[in-house]
Chains A and B, each alone.
Chain A
């Protein structure tokens, strides 16, 4: 299985488009890229990356932009309300055709599901999904998995808790799918019953033969966890405000929540964080979410390098 097959000119729509070997190659190159993520490595000077953010984004967009610039390449694009022709009613298809003719690859985020796949069918150049509705966010999942691999040395054999809105968060869907490419010992899905992962996501876990369990209270499992992955529970997901107020406290991580945790537990969060992790937790040895966000640059540098087939130029 060559690097060529894994990455060169491939679309990145879902994490399941890739296998373990592809991801390990990405991780190894990311590790190498870490030293360039504060300097410059001019290997993509001739490349232009289009950033088509129909939906606002901070980290994903800026880390792609930074990654491209650190590699000597340039970016074009728009974000949210700047998408003027879109607000005038231009179709996604026409916008994608235009970007495809200007740039060498397209990073796309949209609130509708399936947009990245659709864009990839239209564009000749590679399309990278930066989030489509509640479906996929593959580069975030690559980053999440890289952070575990980097911080703990491996993903196999570890016990992972995923806490929050597991039903609508696209980062959770992609993260769970990504985990099925490895062999974690157990996955605890910690959420109110109404926010458990969708049946198609659970089907992926079952097909992979991974052990998982639905849990409502983190206190029941905290001492077993090697990784705690936290996402926000959004108020608007609850039909009833009273119900939201009732559960929200149970899905908030404080220093107190962590008193029975393993010393080596790491906490991840795709960010932005609101109330679900108390700021005091930032100062514990467990917090890794800012480091995780920082890895976003070398990871996306590695990803772009592989997609453009320039990995041989990285020393």
Chain B
């Protein structure tokens, strides 16, 4: 705790995503669609000591509250993550992320022949969780199956 505070100060309103597996913070931001161009104040700490995980990443986002649905997708790349909702410097809610059964909109199917990649179609991506451990999801439209590693690759590859 001491060291963390040396690096980033407390936030007033927003969220703290803690216990992200070391090195995954950028992937988490990508998953949340945060590019830095939104003007949000974002702090990122990578590879700091953690009692539970050995090393971990932390993300603090000021001035934006994300819904539980939006946040649950974090579990796809950071299953150990915990969320702290901060209001007026206090933690008002704290919970662990959980892999949702249906993931809508957050991911982009890599299959170029999938209907969700056709321009000008009013279609939102949808993935169904077929197994939580080991993680496997499939595109509800084209059936392409993704493992945890595939999801990470998908997020890192996507241009935005």
Contact = CB atoms under 8 A, between A and B. Distances in A.
Contacts of B122: 91, 93
Contacts, number: 51
B72 interface: no
Contact of A118 (B111, B113, B141, B144): B141
A208 interface: no
Contact of A200 (B120, B123, B138): B138
Nearest to A113: B142
B121 interface: yes
A118 B143 contact: no
B142 A92 contact: no
A114 B115 contact: yes
Q: Is the interface of A mostly helix, strand, loop or mixed?
A: mixed
Interface residues of B, number: 18
B139 interface: yes
A134 B141 CA distance: 12
Contacts of A203: 145
B145 A199 contact: yes
Interface string B81-95: 000000000000000
Contact of B121 (A118, A132, A133): A118
Q: Is the interface of B mostly helix, strand, loop or mixed?
A: loop
Nearest to B116: A114
B140 interface: yes
B157 interface: no
Interface in A116-138: 117-118, 132-135
A221 to B, nearest CB: 28
Nearest to A114: B141
A112 interface: yes
Nearest to A110: B115
Given A91-B122, A93-B121, A114 B145 contact: no
A113 B141 contact: yes
Contacts of A266: none
A171 to B, nearest CB: 15
B38 to A, nearest CB: 29
Given A113-B113, A114-B116, A118-B115, A135 B143 contact: yes
Interface of B: 111, 113-116, 118, 120-123, 138-145
7 closest Cβ pairs, A-B complex? A114-B141, A113-B142, A114-B115, A114-B142, A200-B145, A118-B115, A112-B115
